[in-house]
Amino acid sequence: MRILFLGDVVGRPGREVIGAELPSLRENFRIDIVIANGENAAGGFGLTRETANELYASGVDVISTGNHWLDQREIIGLIQEDDRILRPRNYPPGTPGRGANLYQAKNGARILVINVMGRVFMDALDDPFASVEAELAACPLREVADAILIDIHAEATSEKMAMGHFCDGRASVVVGTHSHIPTADAQIFPGGTAYQTDAGACADYDSVIGMEKFEPVQRFTRKMSSGRFSPATGPATLCGIFVETDDRTGLARAIAPVRVGGRLSPALPPA
């Protein structure tokens, strides 16, 4: 299976670069499924029906989220009726939506996508490791799922790396989101799980993690707020990772960073 995961989509620039670049990426690299973290897709905060439909129309199959998933109130109804949208699984029981789901890829294979949120420097939620363990036990690799991808939306790099090693040999991919900066540690762990600490963001990088520079810089330098954060509106870079899995084992055969457009140096998987 050939999987493309896209990092946090920040506002209109992020959605537009996906619309411009994803169709050719899907065709050129024969992508079977595309997962994108969409928690910042609507004006930098949350997800709406309109922005979700825009991502689907561009070729995204599944949308994961994170700590901003509830920023747009309409998401509560949307996430209950649209099983292509995930929220972190380790929210308390009774929270609307789902944190994991089994999807059919373009090639007919089954992929389990799990979305969890870290707890270090983040909201106090249930244990993400226990949440992942429950899903891996219920839907084991090669027994029920042909591939498994885990999006861990977390602040601490240590927590993300610990999740990768915790899942090594039992998941196809563990990828971090939330930091909005692509890390240079794409690798395959000894047990066969592909890993990258943060996929980066689909955003304008002439910014502070995708937001217009003035407001965050002022808050850091003057400890004063003069308004809301808003997405930077320059040309965006599409950031993510490409993973190819072995059809027999479900584990990773290859991982490569993906960066297209905007200010960052380009990176594509081998042809």
CB of 175 within 8 A of CB of 5? yes
What CA–CA distance (Å, rounded) separates 15 from 5? 14
Tell me if 270 is assigned to some domain.
no
Counting the structural domains of the chain, the total is 1
Sorted by sequence, the CB contacts under 8 Å of residue 125 that are 6+ apart come out as 88, 90, 91, 92, 117, 119
Tell me if 16 is assigned to some domain.
yes
Strands 110-117 and 100-104, how do they pair? Answer: antiparallel
For the stretch 97-132, pLDDT in tens is: 999 999 999 999 999 999 999 999 999 999 999 999
Tell me if 269 is assigned to some domain.
no
Q: Residue 133 is part of a domain; what is its CATH number?
A: 3.60.21.10
Residues with catalytic annotation? Answer: 68
Tell me if 239 is assigned to some domain.
yes
Question: Would you say residue 135 has pLDDT above 90?
Answer: yes
Tell me if 265 is assigned to some domain.
no
Strands 238-245 and 252-260, how do they pair? Answer: antiparallel
Q: Scanning the structure block, which residue is given the tokens 């954060």?
A: 229
Number of Cβ atoms within 10 Å of the Cβ of 248: 8
End-to-end alpha-carbon separation of the chain, Å?
Answer: 15
Tell me if 24 is assigned to some domain.
yes
Tell me if 267 is assigned to some domain.
no
Full domain range(s) for residue 169? 2-260
Tell me if 8 is assigned to some domain.
yes
CB of 180 within 8 A of CB of 209? yes
For the stretch 199-238, pLDDT in tens is: 999 999 999 999 999 999 999 999 888 888 999 999 999 9
Number of Cβ atoms within 10 Å of the Cβ of 74: 13
